[in-house]
Copies of this chain bind each other. A is one copy, B any other.
Amino acid sequence: MRKIKLGIIGTGLAARNLHLPALLRLKNKFEITAVCNHTEKKAKEFSQLVGGVPYYLDYKEMLKNPNIDAVDIALPIELNYEVTLDALKSGKHVILEKPLAASIDDAKKLLKAEQKYGMTTLLAENFRYRKVFMKAKQLIENGIIGKPYSLAWNLYYNVDEHNSYAETKWRKFNKYPGGFLLDAGVHNIAAIRYLFSEFKSVTTSVKTVNPKIGTHDTMSLQFDLENGMNGVYNIYFSVKGHWEDQLLIFGSRGTIQILNHKLHVKYEGKPEKIYDMTDDNGYYREFLDFYNGIVNRKKIFSSFTEGYKDLQVVLKSFESAELKKKINL
């Protein structure tokens, strides 16, 4: 079986903590052949971590290496556009860590470049491959809670300036709109779109409670979906003393409650049924999809177009907050 020769551009937290464990499980499908970080120490360290492969400080140099079929791009958001474009130009397949880009304009240009260069592309949005949502979709489509009519997703976290993600300079001094809200918000939007339908309208309020983790960090988003459902999505990163990650999906016959990786099916007067999908974060299936896209020409599930739509909802939400009004998508 053919192995994809993979270069990793950006060897920070996402590459190390999220992608690498998945790639190690897919050793028979991916071979890491080069890594790149503009800080030599980091590039070297990561190279050693994956068996001493060649490392680069300049991704443009790396893209010239013919021993690379595909690149995994996990960079500060504002670099996504340029680096992805260069990778496609140089004939590499691309798996790009979400969000797609730092602006709608960049995102649109990436969709064009994707068409132009014809390489396999995947927007690495792991929520689109996460088992707990796949299970939820299946249960809902089987009518297990009747007709779903609304949902509420509350994420209350305390990500202070000592958090390893918040500590990174590009997040602290974010050069893209929305700070953590963009970076993290696309996940939940992707899941909602995956489970139900496109967004129809958004009304949003945002705040910056702790500027030390970037701007903004607190968002309350009310929305209508194209399928007639409505809902609320609260994502608060500076909550002190209360931690919550709860998605409630309200149906005419019952409720699905998702607490991180655990799915509860709840009815009136009956014991609830729990599906425990802990430790299935989606990264493995994401890379597997990328592999099948390249090798078997299978259609990629988390396409750049999907990523574009996720991004659009989040950016329209910021626009709603800025203009202080409901925005139709």
Interface residues of A (CB under 8 A from B): 145-146, 149-150, 152, 154, 156, 158, 201, 203, 205, 207, 209, 218, 220, 222, 224, 230-232, 234, 236, 238-242, 248, 250-255, 257, 265-268, 270, 272, 324-326
Contacts and interface: CB of A to CB of B under 8 A. Distances in A.
A234 to B, nearest CB: 6
B240 A252 contact: yes
Given A149-B207, A239-B250, 19 more contacts: A145-B240, A150-B207, A150-B218, A154-B154, A156-B250, A203-B203, A203-B222, A205-B222, A209-B250, A209-B252, A232-B232, A232-B234, A240-B266, A240-B267, A241-B255, A241-B266, A241-B272, A242-B266, A324-B326
A249 B314 CA distance: 25
Given A209-B252, A222-B232, A326 B240 contact: no
A218 B151 CA distance: 12
10 contacts: A152-B220, A203-B222, A236-B250, A239-B255, A240-B250, A240-B251, A241-B265, A241-B270, A242-B266, A324-B326
Identify the 10 closest CB pairs spanning chains A and B, nearest first: A241-B266, A242-B255, A205-B230, A222-B222, A241-B267, A241-B255, A203-B203, A241-B254, A240-B254, A242-B266
Contacts of A238: 252
Contacts of A145: 240
A251 B209 CA distance: 9
A112 to B, nearest CB: 34
Contact of A326 (B154, B203, B242): B203
B222 A241 contact: no
A325 B323 CA distance: 12
B218 A149 contact: yes
A326 B158 CA distance: 30
A252 B203 CA distance: 24
Contacts of A239: 250, 255
B241 A268 contact: yes
B205 A224 contact: yes
B248 A242 contact: yes
A253 B257 CA distance: 29
Among A145, A241, A257, A326, chain B packs the most CB atoms within 10 A around the CB of A241
Given A207-B149, A207-B230, A266-B241, A222 B224 contact: no
Contacts of A231: 220
Contacts of A154: 152, 154
Among A209, A255, A325, chain B packs the most CB atoms within 10 A around the CB of A255
A212 to B, nearest CB: 12
Contacts of A156: 248, 250, 255
Given A203-B326, A324-B326, A240 B220 contact: no
Contacts of A252: 209, 238, 240
A186 B79 CA distance: 49
Contacts of A253: 240
